[in-house]
Structure 1
Amino acid sequence: MRLLHSANTFNALDRYHRDWHKYTPVFSPQPAMTPQTFASSAFTRTILNHAQRSGLCQEQLLQRAGICLSLLEGQGLRVPTHLVERLLGECERLGAGAMFGCELVNGMATTSLQGLNILLDSAATLRASLACFTEFLPRVTNGVLAQLEEVDGQARLHLRGAHQLPHFFGLDAATLSLVRNISRRLGRAPGEVFAGVALAPQQAAGEWLRGVGIEVRPGSHPCLSLPLASLDEPLIGANPFLHQSILRHWQAEAAQHSRSDSLEMARHWLTAGDQPIERIAERLGYRQPSNFIRAFRKQFGITPKQFRLGL
């Protein structure tokens, strides 16, 4: 199945996103708004493509998960996390086996990480590579939080859910992808790199991990443990020039998305209450309200005052 949508569907969605404030009820001012978590459209397509290879119907999965086709076109689009979780749950309900998540790994490595693997491969050391991973993972998904901890002579890479533990299919895919890629970057077998891996309940990756010589233990979330000295080992694909070039690109994109997200938050505050524009600018980190007004006008084509008057 080709992931295409009709012109009518696209136009309806486009009108909704353009005029979203018209459908937003007015609430009393809130101090903050929890940002919506998401996964990349590329990862969602990877799930669907693997489901189709496993004999599941893409159309049925999309319908039952409530995912619109327009969310899956192009690179860099975001799919709300709860819809991706529902998609994985529907895969399970429609007959996907326990190893479904483990089998997603190849697709993730080639399509889902949106060039992040090139940045991680070209870093000088594993420490630098993992620093980039924890910094830029939120550009691919902010539904999973990655944290590198150094304790008791070990480096531990934790994967936790932003709000709740993700579906075990997704956790298996993430765990095995990290184990394989970190080992590949160091040029060593997984059993030589990792001291152990903790898995969350229901995860099915234990069989593969034990098969390559890695000790597996139960945990509340996936956690990869390796000797602390491994962090300073050079990577076999280190390329300083390439790494710096890609790093600048990722940093620029991250800054652009951060600014865009903050302006979306401003639009919410302008809609939901009567806070002064100067106060909104201050809360978003602008030292001068005029800078906020210029950024808002550049993003949306009108000033904050005009936006508020048009509600």
Structure 2
Amino acid sequence: MATTMDASWAQERVRDLVANVERVVHGCTAVVRNAVICLLAEGHLLIEGVPGVAKTTLAKAIAHSIGAQVNRIQFTPDLLPSDVVGVNIFDTASRAFAFHPGPVFANVVLADEINRASPKTQSALLEAMGERQVTVDGHTHELDAPHFVIATQNPNDHHGTYALPEAQLDRFMLQVRLGYPAPEQEVRVIGDAIERRLPEQLEPVTTIGELLRMTEVARAVHVSEALRAYIVAIVGGTRTQPDTVRLGASPRASNALAVVAQARAVTEGREYVLPDDVKAVAPAVLCHRLVLAPVTAIRGVTAASVVDDILASVPVPHAIADR
């Protein structure tokens, strides 16, 4: 179990990391915090927004703030799976095939505009994101820890986009959305452009070693039996609304909600999870995993409103007795 000292140390490191990212991403504190929480939870992050609202800037800022190896993949309709994971090439000198790793072999992989590639290419990331490994021609290649995929996507109604398959969406632990900045924040964005301030110029404020220690602290955060049952009830609520939800959240979502709540508790300096942690992260964990019934578009029902209704209806446990 994590100690109060461990949690306080991790909270300070998270605060430094968020502050560093906000040097180039303005007016999005809640989004930045959720992105860092996803990193501590050892998940993958999907950032959605219209073009030009700093999705790529946010991803680059996180990558350069942790001093990690970063590879960027620009997803396009002609991108092939081998362009992502790598390929075996025959070496005439050794007269044998040699594996040439693709850009997915990095600590932080920026998958830019992921929904502009075909579903076949998108699925090339499934094994890497789910199992931290890549299999090419029957040979499995391990990925180094940490392995954090940050994908950006434009709304699906934009030209030239492909909807991400449900299996792909389920691999993203969190989805966050970036909108237009407030006027005062947009003034700061203009200032960055004039001064040529770029996320690549950020100095790291933590190391890979510290990041791995922070993830260990998050893993050790206590989740009581009552809260585990609470999480199951919330996720189960997405599967009992056939008139609204065509496909509810899977047990993978239950796992994600638990570990993201652990990471959020760390950012609050606690070594145990509270119901407030679960409620705070539930929309970002669950909304992108729900497939709504077609009739909901007519009724104005959204995934966010479904999750809000479930959170309002599931009784909150008041005791964390097994701490």
Please give the TM-score of this superposition, normalised by the length of structure 2.
Answer: 0.24
Task: From the two aligned structures, give the one with the greater strand fraction.
Answer: 2
Task: From the two aligned structures, give the one with the greater helix fraction.
Answer: 1
